[in-house]
């Protein structure tokens, strides 16, 4: 990579985005593309929509703008986009509200805001997101605000748009004194949002309430210019550099908003309701911006308990952002955090992050009152796994059972910290699930917010995660012992289905070698069905159920395969592994393997490395561990 060449290319791209003309030139742009006059909320929504939307079979939407960085929050994001951004973009009343993201630590609130900021910076550099402002305006004022109110209705009808704001004091003075009221001569430039340059994106972080100055939000008087301009009400003597000024037409992040003194927050009342705010000795200043704040549940409850805050409460839209509740998505979160850290080059054995994710998700779930659904089944359902006897509609009921599910539990950063601790303590060049679970267990004593009751509960969840990993580990090794596992499973299933079809239809099976017609192989069918507890009395109903499922798939033009029936797949797996168990047990547990056993072990290790993502050391450790499990 030639970095100097890339820098030059970047500089050229930025130069091509520069545009300057008169107000008359800008009117031509508006005639051609009225979209450039969109509101701040509309700009944010269009930016999100442009990135793409995917809809699943249940009608749930996934917004790609967020999904590349945030995992497992699709329901919360869909609600945020549909109920707030989409409605606000259509000028409904929610745009006159502060957006408050509420959720637990490390739940994704800050990431959502960071994505919106970064997205706006990029979006204003595209043709769809281009916006223009009066040159020299400290608030990047919409040029159409130059048009007197009496003339606006006619222009709005002609162009199919709406003009809402008033000129800021600086532009009003400039129009009168420098251009003698000649609006058509006022220069207009293209604006590129930048958080670093404080253009269109502002960030406010509260300090000590006693020393907090409202000037941080609304700007302040430049006392060094008073003698020159003679009055505090002269716009030239005022610095329009508060966060509300700089975020005009874009977004302002209000960090830890609820930690501010309530008197300080009163300045947001007129901004949210009327779209303006008071600054210095000027008339109300128009502002079109999206204000996003974030907080945790405890602070929000304290805020709403204070009667003095009732006026502001009615001007806030609260969007809960709970923790992710899907194991597979939690794994993605860990991989992302690991990739961002110095741990990226360390080998973490397969299923290690899944074991940690199982523990973490269990700490966030609430016990369902629905009969037959324990936390483990609930966890699997949430992760998209099929659980026998529970239909899709039940999942929706489970998700709606507790509105605050996911608002508590173990956070991802705690898990990453414990993974780091496990890495420091190991002498090997890898860590596995047992190392991580052990580190998670040790860390519970150091966790400041965990009560003794919670600790006991979490220790149980670590034990559950360990058992889940044990099953995964055994299956992994048994698959590695079976050469071409998927092919063996498919062959066994096809053989079973042929016999089931003959049995249900009162037919015989033709031997493929001798051509002889034989009765269905009852011994084979029962050896598979017994693996999942199908009794002699229940075998006929089970076989008919399989045949009905095959028929249903055929009508829909779909092929019935190894993964089409959860219980049958489990039975096939168990049958294969049962036949192989003794071989695995003897081979993995022998302290001094003979030549044939050693050859088999080396073949299995090679397969674990090539096909399953292990290193030779972690594969060898896995074999030893599974050997100990099978000997218990």
Q: Which residues of the chain have pLDDT under 70?
A: 208-211, 263, 343-344, 389, 391-394, 483-485, 513, 582-583, 585-591, 632
Rounded to an integer, what distance in angstroms lies between the CA atom of residue 84 and that of residue 319? 9
Q: Give phi and psi for 553, each to the nearest 5.
A: -65, -40
pLDDT at 391: 66
pLDDT at 298: 84
CA 4 to centroid of chain Cα atoms: 35
Rounded to an integer, what distance in angstroms lies between the CA atom of residue 44 and that of residue 443? 41
pLDDT at 623: 87
Q: Which residues contact 363 (CB under 8 A, 6 or more apart)?
A: 409, 410, 457, 458, 461
Phi/psi region, residue 106 (left: phi>0; alpha: psi -120 to 50; beta: rest), is: left
CA angle 389, 392, 394 (to 5 degrees): 75
Q: Which residues contact 388 (CB under 8 A, 6 or more apart)?
A: 566, 567
Strand partners, 101: 294, 319
- Which tokens in the block code for residue 103? 């959720």
Are 589 and 628 in contact by the 8 Å Cβ rule? The answer is yes
Angstrom distances, CA of residue 29 to CA of 16, 130, 165, 314 = 17, 11, 19, 39
Question: H or E element: which one contains 318?
Answer: strand 316-320
- Which tokens in the block code for residue 290? 């999206």
Instruction: Enter the pTM of the model.
Output: 0.83
Rounded to an integer, what distance in angstroms lies between the CA atom of residue 133 and that of residue 21? 11
Q: Which residues contact 559 (CB under 8 A, 6 or more apart)?
A: 553
The DSSP symbol for 199 reads: B
- Which tokens in the block code for residue 610? 């090539």
Rounded to an integer, what distance in angstroms lies between the CA atom of residue 608 and that of residue 190? 57
pLDDT at 27: 94
| pLDDT digits 0-9 by tens, 84-114 | 999 999 988 888 889 999 999 888 999 999 9
Are 131 and 249 in contact by the 8 Å Cβ rule? The answer is yes
Domain 17-320 has CATH 3.40.50.300: yes
Rounded to an integer, what distance in angstroms lies between the CA atom of residue 437 and that of residue 426? 14
The count of residues in the chain is 632
Residue extents of the structural domains in the chain: 17-320, 485-589
Dihedral over alpha carbons 100, 105, 108, 111 (to 10 degrees): 80
pLDDT at 561: 81
Rounded to an integer, what distance in angstroms lies between the CA atom of residue 469 and that of residue 236? 68
- Which tokens in the block code for residue 311? 């006026």
Question: What is the distance in angstroms between the CA of the first residue and the CA of the last residue of the chain?
Answer: 56
pLDDT at 618: 92
Angstrom distances, CA of residue 426 to CA of 345, 419, 431, 438, 446 = 15, 11, 7, 12, 20
Long-range contacts of 437-444 (CB under 8 A, 24+ apart): 437/355, 437/356, 437/359, 437/462, 437/465, 437/466, 437/469, 440/356, 440/359, 440/415, 442/418, 443/414, 443/417, 443/418
Rounded to an integer, what distance in angstroms lies between the CA atom of residue 573 and that of residue 471? 12
Q: Nearest to residue 493, comparing CAs of 578, 576, 579? A: 576
Rounded to an integer, what distance in angstroms lies between the CA atom of residue 116 and that of residue 110? 10
Rounded to an integer, what distance in angstroms lies between the CA atom of residue 297 and that of residue 105? 10
Q: Nearest to residue 269, comparing CAs of 316, 317, 312, 205? A: 312
| pLDDT digits 0-9 by tens, 504-525 | 989 888 877 677 888 889 999 9
């Amino acid at each position: 990579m030639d970095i100097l060449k890339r820098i030059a290319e970047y500089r050229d791209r930025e130069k091509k985005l520069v545009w300057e003309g008169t107000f008359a030139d800008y009117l031509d742009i508006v005639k051609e593309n009225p979209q450039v006059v969109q509101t701040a909320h509309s700009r944010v929504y269009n930016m999100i929509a442009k990135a793409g939307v995917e809809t699943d079979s249940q009608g749930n939407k996934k917004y790609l703008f967020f999904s590349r960085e945030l995992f497992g929050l699709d329901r919360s994001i869909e609600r945020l986009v549909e109920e707030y951004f989409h409605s606000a973009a259509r000028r409904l009343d929610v745009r006159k509200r502060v957006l408050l993201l509420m959720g637990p630590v490390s739940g994704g609130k800050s990431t959502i805001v960071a994505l919106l900021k970064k997205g706006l910076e990029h979006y204003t550099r595209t043709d769809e997101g281009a916006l223009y402002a009066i040159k020299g305006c400290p608030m990047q004022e919409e040029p159409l605000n130059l048009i007197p109110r009496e003339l606006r209705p006619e222009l709005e009808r002609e162009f199919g748009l709406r003009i809402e704001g008033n000129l800021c004091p600086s532009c009003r003075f400039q129009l009168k004194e420098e251009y003698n009221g000649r609006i058509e001569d006022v220069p207009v430039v293209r604006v590129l949002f930048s958080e670093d340059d404080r253009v269109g994106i502002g960030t406010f972080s509260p300090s000590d309430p006693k020393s907090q100055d409202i000037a941080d939000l609304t700007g302040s008087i430049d006392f060094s210019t008073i003698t020159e301009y003679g009055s505090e009400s002269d716009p030239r003597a005022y610095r329009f550099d508060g966060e509300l000024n700089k975020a005009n037409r874009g977004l302002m992040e209000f960090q830890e908003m609820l930690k501010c003194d309530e008197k300080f927050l009163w300045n947001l009342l007129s901004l949210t309701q009327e779209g303006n705010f008071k600054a210095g000795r000027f008339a109300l200043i128009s502002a079109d911006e999206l204000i996003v704040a974030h907080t945790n549940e405890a602070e929000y409850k304290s805020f709403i308990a204070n009667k003095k805050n009732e006026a502001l409460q009615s001007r806030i839209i609260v969007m809960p952002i709970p923790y992710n509740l899907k194991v597979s998505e939690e794994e993605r979160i860990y991989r992302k955090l690991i990739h961002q850290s110095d741990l990226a080059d360390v080998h973490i054995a397969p299923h290690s992050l899944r074991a940690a994710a199982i523990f973490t998700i269990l700490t966030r779930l609430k016990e369902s009152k629905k009969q037959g659904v324990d936390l483990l089944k609930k966890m699997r359902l949430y992760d998209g796994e099929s659980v026998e006897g529970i239909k899709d509609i039940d999942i929706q009921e489970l998700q709606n059972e507790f509105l605050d599910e996911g608002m508590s539990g173990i956070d991802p950063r705690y898990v990453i910290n414990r993974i780091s601790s496990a890495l420091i303590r190991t002498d090997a060049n890898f860590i596995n699930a047992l190392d991580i679970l052990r580190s998670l267990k040790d860390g519970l004593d150091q966790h400041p917010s965990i009560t003794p009751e919670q600790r006991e509960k979490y220790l149980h969840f670590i034990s559950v995660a360990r058992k889940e990993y044990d099953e995964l580990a055994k299956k992994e090794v048994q698959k590695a012992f079976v050469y071409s596992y998927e092919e063996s499973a498919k062959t066994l299933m096809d053989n079973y289905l042929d016999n089931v079809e003959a049995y249900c239809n009162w037919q015989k099976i033709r031997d493929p070698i001798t051509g002889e017609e034989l009765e269905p192989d009852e011994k084979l069918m029962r050896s598979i069905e017994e693996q999942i507890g199908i009794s002699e009395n229940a075998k006929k109903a089970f076989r008919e159920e399989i045949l009905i499922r095959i028929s249903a798939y055929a009508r829909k033009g779909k092929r019935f395969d190894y993964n089409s029936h959860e219980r049958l797949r489990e039975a096939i797996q168990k049958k294969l592994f049962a036949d192989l168990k003794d071989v695995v047990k003897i081979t993995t547990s022998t302290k001094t393997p003979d030549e044939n056993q050693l050859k088999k072990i080396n073949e299995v290790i090679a397969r674990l490395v090539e096909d399953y993502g292990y290193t030779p050391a972690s594969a060898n450790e896995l074999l030893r561990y599974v050997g100990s499990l099978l000997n218990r």
